[in-house]
Structure 1
Amino acid sequence: MPLWIAEQYGQITPGTIREQLTTTTRAVVVSLVDYRTGAVTDIEGVRQVIGDRLLIVDAVQGFGVVDAPYELADVVATGGRKWLRAGHGTGLLALSDRALDELRPVFSGWNRLEFVPGQDLALTAPGAAGFQVGTPEPVAEARLAAVLESLAEVGVGAVQAAVLERSARLIALADEFGVPVVSPRSEVERAGIVVLDPGAERLAALTAALHNQGVTVTVRDGRVRLSAHVSTGEETFGMLRDALRGYAASLAIGGR
């Protein structure tokens, strides 16, 4: 039976996980980057506190922009539509030998089967192939392969440094115009997601100001998420500055 990890102070840390482990816990599932807060999970710390339990990492919010120790995980699952920008229908699943021994696919598709020639018999495909759900799409595979080749050529470290620099600029702009930032500020704890919390009474004004300047954001649970990519350039930062300036001006007018 799955048990949800209760976060403390808005984050999931190795310490919070340690306190909630039980004698029946066999696997721990974490997100590399929390989509709600932008916080990067300490994978090394989690591995240390869970011992020999399986560690399963959902890396979709950080794969390609966080230089994480994936070798410590037993399962890494990610999609290619976010930071990799390979489009929908792309992704990958990697499993350790131990994970393959202990995990069994319970929801899959016909392509997980291997048919024995001359026999009316189908066997589960060995390895990670047994966990496939849909039929592979060659064009999507080509997109993902092209992105991964480019990433390998440049290096995740270089991409991470560029994204951290741009996300720091997002934080600086929010500070300049007095918009509360609730995502981590430390480079060790953040990736490319910056979360703003203007308060319920000011959320509409902020989202309207961003929309009016053509700035695309995600609004969820009363908070505004910004994401900085390597391709985020001066024009975009200028649009964001204009949006925040307009937002601040609307508050000043409304406060008179």
Structure 2
Amino acid sequence: MTVSNGPGPHEQPAQEQPGPDETRAATPSIADLAAGYAEKAGLQRNAHGHVDILKSAGGVQGIAESIVPGLVFLVAFMVTRDLPASLVAALVGAAIFTVVRLVQRRPLTQALAGIAGVAISAWLANTTGKAEDFYVLGFYTNVAYIVAMVVSIAVKWPIAGLLFGFVRNEGFDWRKDPERLRAYSIGTWVVIAVLALRLVVQVPLYFMGDAGLAALATMRLIMGAPLYILGLWIAWLLTRPAPGQKRNRAVQPSNPSSD
């Protein structure tokens, strides 16, 4: 009897094949992809697995980051009527939040995006010499979001479903249910309505020039984060599954990371 102590010089040792459980663990599920998309979009869940509206809007600090630079610009311009100085004041206000996040050792993504937006807005206003052009970038941003959301509904991938489907542990299974697909389409239309309302109210004020500047700035503050939170909350309520409706439990709710 020949006893082999190992593979010969031309033989390769047998490699252990991964089991089916390991293969499934290595391959991201649809629910995992949905969760990743929602988290990148800034949607936050609370400990009970429900959408956290305030955190999804960036928290108190995130809301302040979106409001303060525009408010500083308005006050500075109304007091001094000096456009360059007012634009610098707005940039300084945005930069302060970046420094605060550095001190807090918190992610800089939101603060950097905010200061970039303020910088572009300041450049537009300084280039044209019109104070109202500080707010024109928001119009184009709203139009881009509206177009993207309308397209998402048309191709039966409504944005509300991609976001809320993660929070409700549905993954992408909601697309197989015509009622859930319709509900998420309606929820997306709610967000579209919020964005469209901003344009309906603010664009006429913009074309009023200097006379409409104070009203335009005020509407930007009111119809910014506060209106977004309200629209998101209404969309969440309108897209609630009916009692007893089957839902995918592939993703378990987890505590959101603090922002």
The TM-score with structure 1 as length reference comes to: 0.23
TM-score with structure 2 setting the length? 0.23
Q: Which has the larger radius of gyration?
A: 2
- Structure in which a larger fraction of residues adopt strand: 1
Structure number with higher relative contact order (C-alpha < 8 Å, ≥ 6 residues apart): 2
